[in-house]
Amino acid sequence: MNNSLAPTYQRLFGEYWVLWYKASNSYSIVEPEFKRLLDSYLKSDNKKIFVSKLALEDKFSNPNTILENIHTYLNNCNKTITAALERLDVIDLTKRSLLKHYLIKGKTIQIYYDSELVLNTIHPALAHHTIKTSDSVQITFDIYVKNGQLHLYKNEQLISCVPKHDYHLIQGKFIMQLLCTIHNKNEADWLGTFHGSTITDGNTSILFVGESGKGKSTLCALLASAGFNLLADDVSPMLSQIKKIFHNPSAISIKEGAFNLLQPLVETFEDLPIVQFNKRKGLIKYMPCKHPKKDSYPCDAIIIVNYKDMSKTLLERASIKTLLETLIPDSWLSPNPIHAKEFLDWLETLNIYQLTYSDTKSVTAELSKLFKQLNKN
C-alpha cells in the first residue's frame, strides 16, 4: 500500500491516538480500533489483501466500505497546504490618516491607520501602551482598507492582505509580528500561537481555552484581580525548543455580559472606556494588567473553561480528544516537523482539565489550589 500517506508522527494518549500528517499539518484523534484498521491497511501490499483480511473477521459485514472510508480518510489527511500567492503591493502612503505611538518592552512602535474603524481592530487592546510621540521609532506598521482588501505592512513591506470581513486574520498576523518584534524572534521560532488566555503565579502557568463566550477572559480577569499575573489574553504564543509561553502585551477583552461581575472586583473597571467594534461583538472593555516578572513561563496545565450560570465549581480531568477538538481549530500550529514533535512531547507532560464555574470566590480558591499542586510536581 502507499505508505507515503501514513502519519508522520503518532502518539497514544490514554485511550486515543493522536496522528500528525506533515502534508496537511493536521492532527487527527482516533480510537484504537480505527488505528488498528489503519495500520492493517498501510501494511497490506494492496487493497485486495486488506479486504481479504477484513473478511476473516466476522464483525465486518462490508469490508469494501471500510476500505473506502480509510482510503478517503488518508487522502483528506494528506491534502497539501496551498501556499498563499506572494503579493507585491506597493504601500499607499496616502492612507496614513491616523497615527498612534506605543512603547512596549522598551521598543517604540508606530502604527498608521486609515480610519477609526480599522483603528478599532488593533488599538483598544494596546491603548494602555500609548505614548504621545517619539523621535526614535523601531518599527512602523500600516493598516488600511483599499479595494475591499485589508492590508498590513511592516516597515513598508506587505505582510498580509485579506478581504476586509476577514479582519481577524490581520489581527492574528499583526500580533505575530508584534510578538516577534518585542521578543526579538522570527516567525519560524514559534511552535504555535494558541487560541486561549494564560495566567501565571510567577512559577508556572495555566492555559485557559474554550469556545468564544465560555468565560476564558472573564476568568483571567478574576485571577488577575486576585493577585495572579496575566501572561497572554486570547493569543498565547509558545516558543519552540524551550516550550514556554511568552508574554502578549494586549489587554484582556471583557464582553458586556461580564461587566457587572467584574466591576466590584476590579479597581477602576468602571473607568475603562467602552468600545463597540461591530454589533456581533457587542460592547467591550479592555482591561490592562501589570507585566509579569518574567517574559515567559512553562505551561503545565490546560483548562477547558465553561461558565455556567448558577453552577457549582467543578474541576475534573479531560481527555486529549476533548482538548484538541477545542484547542486546534482556532490556533496556529507550526508546520515544521520538529515543532510538531515538540508539540506532541509537550502534550504528554500536560495536566488536562475541564472547568465549570459561576461563583467567583470558589473558582479562584480552586485554581489557587491547583497552582500549588503544580508547583509541588
pLDDT at position 107 is 94
Cell matching residue 106: 522598551
Instruction: Over range 324-336, report the average pLDDT.
Output: 95
Q: Answer whether residue 327 shows pLDDT above 90.
A: yes
Instruction: Over range 29-51, report the average pLDDT.
Output: 95
Instruction: Over range 122-140, report the average pLDDT.
Output: 93
The rounded percent of the chain whose pLDDT value lies above 70 is 98
Between residues 209 and 134, which one has the greater pLDDT? 209
Between residues 85 and 63, which one has the greater pLDDT? 63
Between residues 80 and 77, which one has the greater pLDDT? 77
Amino acid at 220: C
Q: Answer whether residue 214 shows pLDDT above 90.
A: no
Q: Answer whether residue 281 shows pLDDT above 80.
A: no
pLDDT at position 320 is 96
pLDDT at position 84 is 59
Cell matching residue 28: 487527527
Alpha-carbon distances of 179 from 103, 125, 194, 246, 371, rounded to whole Å:
13, 14, 13, 9, 26
| Contact by Cβ (8 Å): 16, 319 | yes
Between residues 264 and 88, which one has the greater pLDDT? 264
Q: Answer whether residue 68 shows pLDDT above 80.
A: yes
Euclidean distance between CA atoms 59 and 57, whole angstroms? 6
The rounded percent of the chain whose pLDDT value lies above 90 is 86
Q: Answer whether residue 104 shows pLDDT above 70.
A: yes
Model confidence band, residue 375 (pLDDT cutoffs 50, 70, 90): very high
Question: In 10 A of CB 225, how many CB atoms?
Answer: 17
List pLDDT tens digits, range 168-186: 999 999 999 999 999 999 9
Locate all alpha helices (DSSP H) within 106-207, ordered by sequence: 116-126, 167-183
Highest mean pLDDT among 75-84, 169-178, 257-266: 169-178
Cell matching residue 50: 486488506
pLDDT at position 3 is 83
Model confidence band, residue 83 (pLDDT cutoffs 50, 70, 90): low
